[in-house]
Amino acid sequence: DQQVKQNSPSLSVQEGRISILNCDYTNSMFDYFLWYKKYPAEGPTFLISISSIKDKNEDGRFTVFLNKSAKHLSLHIVPSQPGDSAVYFCATASSGGSYIPTFGRGTSLIVHP
């Protein structure tokens, strides 16, 4: 039973447009939410995070939104660049779980020039 769900295996976007990646979670005990990016033949790289006390966190072109009532978070990339093409993993963590992240299956983002 997946606790973190990324229902879109892939997303294709034109360069310069917005990319929106979505994630749903089931456990309301999660209090920290993260996005990782992974290029082929490399390990995942931490991208951005948000705690449960916030509903938005922004870092340059990347913004994460959290909707606790819907148990949903999203990552917005504006403007999208070809170098953003990668697999994006949503992850959740909790103080009760020693902040060990639980990952979704990932969404493969392709940004076309």
Partner 1 sequence: DTGVSQNPRHKITKRGQNVTFRCDPISEHNRLYWYRQTLGQGPEFLTYFQNEAQLEKSRLLSDRFSAERPKGSFSTLEIQRTEQGDSAMYLCASSPLSAFGELFFGSGTQLSVL
Here the tokens at position 71 are: 């148990």
Q: Using the 8-state DSSP alphabet, how is residue 96 labeled?
A: G
* Half-sphere CA count of 56, side-chain side, radius 13 A: 5
Here the tokens at position 82 are: 């070809």
Interacting residues toward partner 1 by CB under 8 A? 4, 6, 9, 32, 34, 41-46, 49, 51, 89, 91-93, 98-106
Q: Smallest distance from the beta carbon of 79 to partner 1, in angstroms?
A: 25
Looking only at the bridges linking them, the beta strands covering 45-51 and 56-59 are unpaired
Q: Smallest distance from the beta carbon of 103 to partner 1, in angstroms?
A: 3
**61: closest CA among 46, 81, 85?**
81
Q: Smallest distance from the beta carbon of 113 to partner 1, in angstroms?
A: 27
Q: Smallest distance from the beta carbon of 84 to partner 1, in angstroms?
A: 19
Q: Which is nearer to partner 1, 15 or 102 (CB)?
A: 102
Here the tokens at position 97 are: 């779980």
Q: Which is nearer to partner 1, 7 or 14 (CB)?
A: 7
Q: Which is nearer to partner 1, 69 or 98 (CB)?
A: 98
